[in-house]
Structure 1
Amino acid sequence: MSPSLEPVVILSRQEQEYLLRTIESGLRVVSMRQFFLWTQGQLQTLLPHQVMVALQFAPSGALRRMECLHATVLAPQRESLLADRRDGLALRIARHCLQGARLPAMADVAAEGGNRQAGVLGGFGNELRDAGFESVLVHGTGTTAEGASVFVLFGLPMRPGPRHAYFLELLLAHLHLALLRLPSPETRGAGAPARPLSAREAEIVGWLREGKSNGEMAQLLGISALTVKNHLQRIYRLLGVGNRAHALARCLELRLLEAA
């Protein structure tokens, strides 16, 4: 539905702290790596979700950029279904909402009544299920002289409601400005590592993205935990990072996992 926001929403003290921390962190976002860490870190405390697709449109309506952000491995077919630049689900949902001035919008296809609970997004209910999601929350700037930004959040663990739309409303300007500050996709390859990830390193980063520990990766790959640790240290040096989260963010920034 396209919810009417509650006239007064009282935030708890904890929610106020989460909101302040999220806004403060967002002010420092100037790279794709930082954007990934922000949206998959602080933003998740207020609006937990599985996948966020951020879209930026030109004043003409043409798609300028699309970023698909998620902290776990997403099968290529599933990611293409969501974030294809020609006719992906996120793109069609964003355009549907912009054309009808239906922002924010949400859908809960798991609720009793199925697609009837999806309101203006009811036509996307079956596709949401096919993609493995039961809910979606959408908000954006609407069409402006400078174009538009739209953020589509898939897979909220709770049933989305006006309160969640309000949180996204509060953060919308910060998401929009952070997206505008990112380097263009054409220049993203600047500062690429001296060599590509090896096949084994790409495997380890893939399991890292799924949240596997060194011991779990060792069992999956048939090697020792010490060997996994050594591979991780080489990956950190190659990418110029110091921990797992930054390694994942750097791989996303450089699209190394896609290349692998």
Structure 2
Amino acid sequence: MNTTSSFVRLNASDLEHLLMTMERALEVQTRSQFFLWAQGALQGFIAHDALWCAHGDIERMRFRVESFSNGVTSERIEAQVTGATDGLLPRLVDDWIRGGRIPRLLSSEGGDQVGRRQLISDLKHCGFSHVAVHGVREMQGEHGSFFVFAGMDHVPNQRDAYLLELLMPHLHLALHRMRMRESGGSCADVTPVTLLSKREIQVLHWVKNGKTNMEIGQILGISPPTVKNHLQKVMRKLNVNNRAQAVGKSATLRLMAHSDLN
């Protein structure tokens, strides 16, 4: 239950809904918009009772937590999940990191749960039999994010893991736009900084314009192998397999800001 290697096929209706979900994520700027998106379009793909979103330095366990629920979560459950020292969320982060930073699927109904039985038991004690978690692999220091979907209505499966991979950039960026708006920052500034570095955006820009690795290296004053390394990082961050997909997904996410191309 811990890999995304199995082939998952989405039908035409799924793809249409997925595109709509991604498009609506781009409109999220405020907490109320995030809540409506999470409890609306996102629910259609990953049905859940409660969503916890951690942001900050995830790997060092220095993060703050936002809670979004379609019901009222008791103070006791909230404390058990978000406790800084022995809370379930830090333990889920640790499980995710130890598991290779791939979507982690937890269920009280069997599966390969070696070494995780106490964690699953504690989740069930809080009323969550089925849970799926994932975060941004490239931690980016204080700009990391991690998401817990608790109270799912079915045993999480490979389809859920695949969808988490696809939706992770949108979850991450929507959360950070919301935070920037609340902190009085510029929402336009957060996207390139938190997902792709300035150099990665520059490389992607020239890929979009049809340049080869050698040509990009000459333009930016770096070697072709360095260009290739940047592209590999971009593809990992965007969860795509080739240059064309990277360009397409970056356009969907509006990652290439003009100010980052200079």
TM-score by length of 2: 0.63
Q: Quote the residue 1:4 is aligned against.
A: 4
Q: 1:106–1:121: 8 Å Cα contact kept in structure 2?
A: no
Shift of 1:117: 4.0
Partner of 1:126: 121
1:58 paired with 2:57, answer yes
Kindly provide the amino acid, as one letter, of the partner of residue 152 in structure 1: V
Task: For residue 118 of structure 1, give the secondary structure of its aligned residue in structure 2.
Answer: coil
Alpha-carbon distance in 2 for matches of 1:83, 1:129: 15
Shift in CA distance, 33/87, structure 1 to aligned 2, threshold 3 Å: farther
Give RMSD over aligned pairs.
Answer: 2.4
Q: Counterpart of 1:152?
A: 148
- Shift of the alpha carbon at 1:185? 9.8
Q: 1:75 to 1:30 in 2, by over 3 A?
A: same
Structure 1 stretches of 5 or more lacking a match? Answer: 189-260
Ranges of 4+ aligned residues in structure 1 off by more than 6 Å: none
Change (3 A) 1:120 1:47: farther
Aligned match of 1:140 in 135, 141, 151? 135
Alignment CA distance shift 1:12-1:129 (3 Å):
same
Shift, 1:144, TM fit: 2.9
Q: What's the counterpart of residue 174 of structure 1?
A: 170
Deviation at 1:145, TM superposition (A): 3.3
Q: 1:102 deviation in Å?
A: 3.9
| Separation in 2, partners of 1:172, 1:60 | 17
* Aligned-residue offset at 1:124: 0.4
Query: Share of identical aligned residues, percent?
Result: 32
Name the counterpart of 1:32: 31
Deviation of 1:176 after TM superposition, in Å, equals 0.8
SS at match of 1:67: strand
Match in the other structure for 2:212 = none
Displacement of 1:25 in angstroms is 0.5
* 1:5 counterpart letter in structure 2: S
Alignment correspondent of 1:20? 19
Over 3 Å counting, the alpha-carbon distance change for 1:57 and 1:95 in structure 2 is: farther
- For 1:74 and 1:142, the matched residues in 2 are separated by 28
Cα distance, 1:117–1:144 mapped onto 2, change above 3 Å: same
The residue type paired with residue 82 of structure 1 is V
Aligned partners of 2:100, 2:168: CA distance in 1, in Å? 16
2:105 equivalent in structure 1:
106
* Superposed CA offset, 1:189-209 (max 9, x none): xxxxxxxxxxxxxxxxxxxxx
The Cα shift of 1:180 comes to 1.5
In the comparison of the two structures, how many residue pairs are matched?
Answer: 183
- Letter of the structure 2 residue corresponding to residue 107 of structure 1: L
d(CA) in 2 for partners of 1:55, 1:161: 23
Equivalent residues in 2 for 1:198-213, closer than 5 Å = none
Partner Cα separation in structure 1 for residue 34 and residue 106 of structure 2: 25
Indicate if the aligned counterparts of 1:54 and 1:149 stay in contact, CA closer than 8 A. yes
1:121-174: CA deviations, max 9, x gaps? 433011011101111111111243345211111111011111111011110000
1:68 paired residue number: 67
2: distance between equivalents of 1:120 and 1:97? 13
- C-alpha spacing 1:68/1:119, structure 2 compared with 1 (3 Å): farther
Give TM-score scaled by structure 1 length: 0.63
Between 1 and 2, higher relative CO (CA 8 Å, sep ≥ 6) is seen in 1
Cα-to-partner distance string for 1:40-65 (whole Å, 9 max, x where unaligned): 11100011011111111327624332
